[in-house]
Amino acid sequence: MTAATTLPTTTDLVALVRGRRVVALTGAGMSTDSGIPDYRGPDSPPRNPMTYQQFMGDAAFRRHYWARNHLGWRHMDATEPNAGHRALAALERAGTVRGVLTQNVDLLHTKAGSRSVIDLHGNYMQVRCMGCEHRTSRIALGERLDAANPGFAESVTGATAVEVAPDADAVIEDTAHFRVVDCERCGGILKPDIVYFGESVPRERVDAAYAMVESADVLLVLGSSLTVQSGLRFVRHAVKRGMPVAIVNRGATRGDEHATLKLEAGCSETLAALTTSA
């Protein structure tokens, strides 16, 4: 008979990170306890993430996106950090966590008080002109879209109970009557300053993230399936440097084969346990 394999526990994770400098890499599973759904969790409905090619190549698709985002970004802006975000910020204050790399665009780490945060995919509060590169706030664009679409929110059935997707757009269907606005400076296409599927993370951001990983002793992955290369590359980089990699995620990830320790657990309760042991 083969002896039963003992699964790793939070106690094992505490032992792994104790006395070591930790950098956290977070994904959508980090924010589910705040009410923001993820794309690939075991209980998530099928979703089709935005692609760069769709957004830039189809005016009707852009209109549909901006209509959904015009409702969704306000819901995301009102979302509060959960216990996991607050625990990471506390671990940073305690000196255990040296920084956070996040694939999320929701700014919840910053809201929770984390100081050293790299938003790998950008964030929902900035808008970029694809022509002249001018950047503006989502609040300012919201005011322009309100003026161009008076009464739009009220015209959408169920707008007060809208479901919000991970990229800050709302799940609504009737958007044909929505009017999109262009860049005030050059008339170019406006796009959320978020890295879409099919688009690359800016090189300087990637370099800063590699430097953050290299400043640590342990890479702690939280709530990410590591499906996309933008996150998985940092796991591979850590392994090449001989660093332990701990993964906390409900469900399999592409990085499991590299993990020193893998916990099938939620982020909030795991991080809460770490704070009591830091």
> Which are the catalytic amino acids?
121
Known binder of ligand: residue 104? Answer: yes
Q: Is 192 annotated as a binding residue?
A: no
- Is 146 one of the annotated binding-site residues? no
37 annotated ligand binder: yes
20 is in an annotated binding site: no
Which residues are 129's β-sheet partners?
A: 190
Q: Is residue 244 marked as binding?
A: no
Angle at 130 between CA 126 and CA 132, to 5 degrees: 95
Which residues sit opposite 221 in a β-bridge? 25, 247
35 annotated ligand-binding residue: yes
Q: Which residue, chain included where needed, has tokens 């262009």?
A: 182
- Whether residue 249 is annotated as binding a ligand: the answer is yes
Q: Whole-angstrom Cα distance, residue 154 to residue 209?
A: 42
Q: β-strand 97-102 against 122-129: which pairing, if any?
A: unpaired
Q: Provide DSSP, 74-104.
A: HHHHTPPP-HHHHHHHHHHHTTSEEEEEE--
242 in a known ligand binding site: no
40 among the known binding-site residues?
Answer: yes
Q: Is 267 annotated as a binding residue?
A: yes
Question: Within the chain, where are the H helices?
Answer: 10-17, 52-57, 59-77, 83-93, 108-112, 138-148, 152-155, 203-214, 229-240, 267-277
202 marked among binding-site residues: no
Q: What are the φ and ψ backbone dihedral angles of 183, each rounded to 5 degrees?
A: -60, 130
Looking up tokens 């099938």 gives: 264
Whether the CB-CB separation of 225 and 251 falls below 8 Å is answered with yes
Would you say 28 is a known binding-site residue? yes
Radius of gyration of the chain (CA): 20
- Residue 186 annotated as binding site: yes
Whether 223 has a binding-site annotation, put simply, is yes
Regarding beta strands 261-263 and 245-248, do their DSSP bridges make them parallel or antiparallel, or are they unpaired? Answer: parallel
> Is 119 within any annotated ligand binding site?
no
CB-count burial class (<10 Å; 0-12, 13-18, 19+) for 157: exposed
How many other C-beta atoms can be found within 10 angstroms of the C-beta atom of residue 61?
Answer: 15
SS3 at position 250? coil
Residues of each annotated binding site for Zn(2+): 129, 132, 183, 186
Residues of each annotated binding site: 27-47, 103-106, 129, 132, 183, 186, 223-225, 249-251, 267
Residues of each annotated binding site for NAD(+): 27-47, 103-106, 223-225, 249-251, 267
